[in-house]
Amino acid sequence: MTSTLITPCTLILPFPLQDLHVLELRGCGLKRINTQLYHLLPYLSHLDLGNNQIQFLAEDEFQDLRRLHSLRLDGNLLPVVLEKTFVNQQQLKYLCLARNRLAKVTDTAFLNLTSLVELDISYNKLSKIESFALTHVADTLQKLLISGNNFPLSLVKTILQTLYRVWHLEVAHMKIKSIPERFFPDRIKKLNVSFNNLTSVSVHNIPRQVQDLDASYNQLKGLNDSVIIKLETLKFVNLSGNPWHCSLCHVTSILFRVNKTDIFRNLTCASPKSLKGKMLSSLRLEDVTTCDSKHNNDDGSSGGNKLSLLIGLVCIVIFAVFSIVFVVCSCVRRHSRNVALQQKRAAERAENSLHSATAIFSKGEISFKFPLDLTERKMSVSTIDEIKRDSQQSLPNGTATGI
């Protein structure tokens, strides 16, 4: 008889313990679990420790749980998966390590997981993972979830080459802008590329065997005929949340098929403004704007033009301000030079002036420097007869004075 224990925070163990197969301690705020508890649960097949505060797992943490089929450790604070952490879990098929703080996975972290079918390491802080670490699960792994990490596309390609049996792949929230042709192996049947930055989808981006495609919340504005024909053959397609541009250049092919398939019926226009929020299934061909219509400028391109114009005006204003400041500074500098030059010249003229007398006594010392009178002085020489004559003329009544 299989016993099940599901408790949010209070641990009440039934007896006998060896009959317990399922133990769920999700969201209990646990930081550590006494590993002696696992020794009492030899037949435990499902263990859920998600959404707790566990920061560390010892290498022998689960050594007594040799019959585990499912282990959930998501939503904890684990920074690393240590070597040989799951070395005794040869029967483990499902391992979830999502939403932790994983920055490293050691080379032997998945050693002996020879039955693992699904691995979830999404939404961590991983930017790289050695392909050798995944070779231990390459023969059995079929479902791989690596969304929300910082893996470059080149590493994703290497991972897919190593895990050659994976047919379910999730690479959401990875800031992917474009996907090279034939990037995904044809064996992929379920693909999740949602919440990225994809602006276009080609037939060559879609694996040949894919049956389930989630491309929601990207930057798709329209689809061409070949892609639409391919999507119509799939069992499930999610294209919601994309900024569909309802013009003849982008959604014409969709409008012709919108009422013939379910994959387009819940889509809404994001632009132009006149059609924003309207369901594509409710549009008529005459409602859609033409490619060169002025209404097309209501979308992001109009915003881009306005932004460019604003940036140009700001640059012009900044240039004008700097020019004015430069001219003012130049004028002030030139005026200062002219004033200094005039003062210098005035001082030189004052120093060399003929009317500038040098004091004879300066600072208590006698100075023998006298101003030179360069004015030409003329001296007249008179004879005695001329003096007498002048004297006689100067006396009244012609009276002369004898000498």
Residue 63 has pLDDT above 70, yes or no: yes
- CA dist 209 to 103, 189, 190, 386, Å? 33, 5, 9, 147
Residue 289 burial (CB < 10 Å; 0-12/13-18/19+)?
Answer: buried
Highest mean pLDDT (candidates 37-41, 111-115, 383-387)? 111-115
pTM summary value: 0.70
Question: What confidence tens digit (pLDDT) does each residue in 69-128 have?
Answer: 999 999 999 999 988 899 999 999 999 999 999 999 999 999 999 999 999 999 999 999
Compute CA 26 distance to the chain's CA centroid, rounded to the nearest angstrom: 35
Highest mean pLDDT (candidates 4-13, 243-252, 342-351)? 243-252
- Map tokens 């004075």 to a residue: 401
In three-state secondary structure terms, 182 is coil
The confidence score (pLDDT) of residue 401 equals: 45
The confidence score (pLDDT) of residue 300 equals: 45
Task: Tell me the average pLDDT across 168-172.
Answer: 98
- Map tokens 């930081």 to a residue: 31
The confidence score (pLDDT) of residue 187 equals: 97
Residue 226 has pLDDT above 80, yes or no: yes
Nearest alpha carbon to residue 247 among 292, 203, 310: 292
Residue 250 has pLDDT above 70, yes or no: yes
Extents of the domains making up the chain:
1-118
Question: CA-CA distance, 174 to 180, in Å (whole number)?
Answer: 15
Determine how many CB atoms are found less than 10 A away from the CB of residue 71. 22
Instruction: Enumerate residues 6+ apart whose C-beta is below 8 A from 23.
Output: 5, 41, 44, 46, 47, 48
The pair of structure tokens assigned to 353 is 């002036």
Residue 298 has pLDDT above 50, yes or no: no
Highest mean pLDDT (candidates 52-66, 188-202, 389-403)? 188-202
For residues 86 and 358, the model is more confident at 86
CATH number of 1-118: 3.80.10.10
| 119 phi, psi to nearest 5 deg | -130, 125
Peptide bond into 16 cis (omega under 30): yes
Contact 137, 110 (CB under 8 A): yes
Give the whole-number percent of the chain exceeding pLDDT 70: 78
In three-state secondary structure terms, 257 is helix
- CA dist 220 to 27, 89, 241, 278, 310, Å? 38, 43, 9, 17, 27
The confidence score (pLDDT) of residue 400 equals: 46
- CA dist 330 to 325, 333, 338, Å? 8, 5, 12
